[in-house]
Amino acid sequence: MDENFLPLKFTHSFEAMSALEKEKVDADIKELLQKGKKERWVIDHLQLSIDPKEFASGSFSTIHKCVWRGYDVVAKIPKVMNKSTLYLTLKEIEVWSSLRHPRLVQFLGVSIVEGKLCILMEKINGYNLDSFIKHFPKKANKYSLDIAKQITQIIYFLHHCTPPIIYRDLKPENILIDENMNVKLTDFGLSRFMPESSNYTMTGGTGTMRYIAPEVYSYQKYDLKADIYSLGLILHYIFTHEIPFKNTNTHSMNKHLLDNTKEYGSDDTNVPPRLKGIIKVCCDYTPSYRPNIEDLFIAIKSESSKHIGLLAKAKNSLRNILKLSNTNNNCDADILMDISRHGNHVYQK
């Protein structure tokens, strides 16, 4: 094992492994290091200044502010470096380091911090989807279609990688929205290349239980359609601001995921009419009934184009009504037209 990663050999997780497991992990780390050194993302921990106080936390890791070579970044550090989290982190690095897309939080590198594999990533100034909807409901409603289009585009990209990537943990907390309304997907701890050769199966849990596809929760065989189920629930939340399976406890969710006993939502008033049907089938209990990501993306992209066209038409109609002309330019400064937030209302500043 490379001297930079020697601290891993002295953790309890590594010492507790069998000889065969140690050999496998050692080989995985060597392969990771070769790739990292070639692509220059193995980072010396002495270059990092990590805030010991976490600002966010997930099921397996804590998230910290960090400065690297004078640049503000984010460090993701496992809570405990046991055998399970070591495997998870290695898999996450394998997938995330291979991805480049403007809608993905950028992977910057890895380091060893106090015997733990630490992932460095781009810092996003903004909110996760859940916080954004709760803090800015009017703005979230205004940009709902654009947010839906962006997150669908991200999953489209992942499913069309070679080999395809299944994300497996789509939930509002992993979807970030920056100051410019750009959607960014983060946390690839449960993502895998398809087909997955190992026997690893994602387990159910309260943290992601609300958005887990039934076949994943019940340990059945599953494919990319598992992401479609989660995406359907996310889209429902984006348009309605209604949390899927609201007022449902863990016991009831468990029963539903095993026996299909509940509806995910009761109010689809704000869902664009042409998207209601496809979102509903995205959330179908039976995987084969769900659409593929191409059909979903086309539907949302088409609705988005239609929406933009209607806004342009409405604004032109207003200009004609108000008889705005080159000889009356001062009227533009006095009249505020906000179609997307106020329908067809025109009001004075």
pTM of the model: 0.81
pLDDT at residue number 308:
55
Instruction: Determine whether domain 3-122 maps to CATH 3.30.200.20.
Output: yes
Assigned CATH class of 126-302: mainly alpha
The span from the CA of 153 to the CA of 27, in Å, is: 35
With beta carbons less than 8 A apart as the criterion, state whether 185 and 104 touch: yes
Instruction: Give me the sheet containing 126-128, strands edge to edge.
Output: 126-128, 175-178, 183-185
Query: Best-predicted range by mean pLDDT among 95-99, 115-119, 219-223?
Result: 95-99
The span from the CA of 281 to the CA of 235, in Å, is: 12
Residue 286 pLDDT class (50, 70, 90 cuts): very high
pLDDT at residue number 106:
97
Instruction: Give the residue extent of every domain in the chain.
Output: 3-122, 126-302
Closest CA to 258 of 294, 217, 229, 290: 217
The span from the CA of 85 to the CA of 287, in Å, is: 29
Report residue 155 as tokens: 């999953």
pLDDT at residue number 166:
95
Check pLDDT > 90 for residue 77. Answer: yes
Residue 188 pLDDT class (50, 70, 90 cuts): very high
The span from the CA of 36 to the CA of 38, in Å, is: 5
pLDDT at residue number 15:
66
Report residue 23 as tokens: 């050999």
With beta carbons less than 8 A apart as the criterion, state whether 41 and 89 touch: no
**In the chain, pLDDT over 70 holds for what percent of residues?**
79
Domains 3-122 and 126-302 share a fold: no
Query: Best-predicted range by mean pLDDT among 5-19, 243-257, 273-287?
Result: 273-287
With beta carbons less than 8 A apart as the criterion, state whether 303 and 274 touch: yes
Report residue 81 as tokens: 């470096």
72-76, 96-100, 136-140, 303-307: least confidently modelled range: 303-307
With beta carbons less than 8 A apart as the criterion, state whether 33 and 2 touch: yes
pLDDT at residue number 330:
46
Quickly tell me which residue has 């070679």 as its tokens: 162
With beta carbons less than 8 A apart as the criterion, state whether 194 and 145 touch: no
With beta carbons less than 8 A apart as the criterion, state whether 85 and 78 touch: yes
Check pLDDT > 60 for residue 192. Answer: yes
Ramachandran angles phi, psi of 285, nearest 5°: -65, -30
Closest CA to 265 of 288, 250, 251, 282: 282
Question: What is the widest separation between alpha-carbon atoms in the chain?
Answer: 84
Write out pLDDT tens, residues 296-340: 999 999 987 765 554 455 455 545 555 554 544 444 433 333 433
46-50, 142-146, 331-335: least confidently modelled range: 331-335
Residues 6+ apart with CB under 8 A from 102: 182
SS3 letters across 139-169: HHHHCHHHHHHHHHHHHHHHHCCCCCEECCC
CA 310, 315, 321, 325 torsion: positive or negative? negative
With beta carbons less than 8 A apart as the criterion, state whether 126 and 140 touch: no
